Amino acid sequence: MSASLYTKRRVKNVLAMSFSLLATAIGLFFLAWILWETLSQGLAGLKPQLFTKITAYREEGGLANAMVGSLILNILGIVIATPIGVAAGAWLAEYSMRSKLGPTIRFLNDILLSAPSIVLGLFVYTIVVLPSKYLSGGDITFSGLAGGIALALIALPVIVRTTDEMLRLVPGTIREAALSLGVPQWKLTMQILVRSARSGIITGILLALARISGETAPLLFTAFGNNFMTFNPLDKMPSLPQVIYEYTKDPSPDINVLAWAGAFVLTMFVLALSLVARFVFSRSKVSHD
């Protein structure tokens, strides 16, 4: 009786352990599968013209304008989101203790972090693209600026959260030491706390950049896309993810090859960014010890 119970428990345990191994294998298998396809299909389309020609030439063209557009949009997004995000994170970590608003904002920020990006894109469409009709006195104008603002909204919660967390990791003794020397709180925050949490905050910014580099949905109705090279943020602006989206839907296999090549470039960029972010973060940990 007890022997059979023992066997039953052992069998159950072995089953559970093998299920767990299988689950891990499934996860790793899909990662390898997706990366392998992106790599093998993408390398086929990796030609010099990919980086020198623009999308207007279709099959004979490249993705140069989309890459430049993506770069501009990402820089716009990060440049808008970073000061606001760091400031909001600093407020949460240093100033919000006495108010009830602090925990609420922290909570809402976590929700914004996983809110559907397409809805945020529509929000920016309503507040930036639609009013452009009144400002320009004519048609509704999609613009790189609108795209940048949409991306900034997606980057913002990432930066707020990491800044908040990193500042709260700074030992309280540093604050006490500075305050006892008579340093005003704003100087303490800007010149001591933000500086000592610098690498953690940079990690957050890099992660936010990785996140927005792959965003497509909110750009569809803000930056809109363009087949030509443009450096003007008030013009419609192409981006890598959006060109990939359009070229994937295209029935022509030659165009699909370009989409894969673009996917390869994008994936490598995003993965490299997250690796760099991890490296910066691991260094920040060492410096705190």
- Is residue 197 at the binding interface for another protein, with CB under 8 A as the rule? no
Number of residues that bind another protein (CB under 8 A): 86
- Is residue 221 at the binding interface for another protein, with CB under 8 A as the rule? yes
- Is residue 223 at the binding interface for another protein, with CB under 8 A as the rule? no
- Is residue 279 at the binding interface for another protein, with CB under 8 A as the rule? no
229-132-222-53 Cα dihedral, nearest 10 degrees: -10
Check if the beta carbon of residue 156 is closer than 8 Å to that of residue 83.
Answer: no
Q: Residue 140 CB, nearest distance to another protein (Å)? A: 11
Segment interacting with another protein (CB under 8 A) among 10-18, 46-54, 61-69, 173-181: 10-18
Cα 188 to chain centroid distance, Å, stands at 29
C-beta of 52 vs 110, nearer to another protein: 110
- Is residue 24 at the binding interface for another protein, with CB under 8 A as the rule? yes
Phi-psi map region of 115: left, alpha, beta (phi>0 left; psi -120 to 50 alpha) = beta
Segment interacting with another protein (CB under 8 A) among 48-56, 64-72, 198-206, 263-271: 263-271
- Is residue 111 at the binding interface for another protein, with CB under 8 A as the rule? yes
- Is residue 177 at the binding interface for another protein, with CB under 8 A as the rule? no
- Structural element, H or E, at residue 148: helix 144-169
Q: Measured between alpha carbons, how far is 64 from 81 in angstroms, rounded to an integer?
A: 26
- Is residue 114 at the binding interface for another protein, with CB under 8 A as the rule? yes
- Is residue 96 at the binding interface for another protein, with CB under 8 A as the rule? yes
DSSP 219-232: GTTTTB--SS----
- Write out the two tokens for 90: 């600093």
C-beta of 26 vs 174, nearer to another protein: 26
| Residue 136, CA atoms < 13 Å, CB-side half-sphere | 14
C-beta of 230 vs 269, nearer to another protein: 269
- Is residue 186 at the binding interface for another protein, with CB under 8 A as the rule? yes
The single residue among 7, 20, 252, 287 that binds another protein, judged by CB under 8 A, is 20
- Is residue 194 at the binding interface for another protein, with CB under 8 A as the rule? no
- Is residue 153 at the binding interface for another protein, with CB under 8 A as the rule? yes
**Contact positions with another protein (CB under 8 A) in 55-74:** none
CA nearest 259: which of 274, 246, 275? 246
DSSP-derived letter for residue 231 is -
Q: Residue 20 is which amino acid? A: S
C-beta of 19 vs 51, nearer to another protein: 19
- Is residue 195 at the binding interface for another protein, with CB under 8 A as the rule? no
Alpha helices in 171-239 (DSSP H): 172-180, 185-187, 194-196, 198-213
Q: Measured between alpha carbons, how far is 260 from 33 in angstroms, rounded to an integer?
A: 15
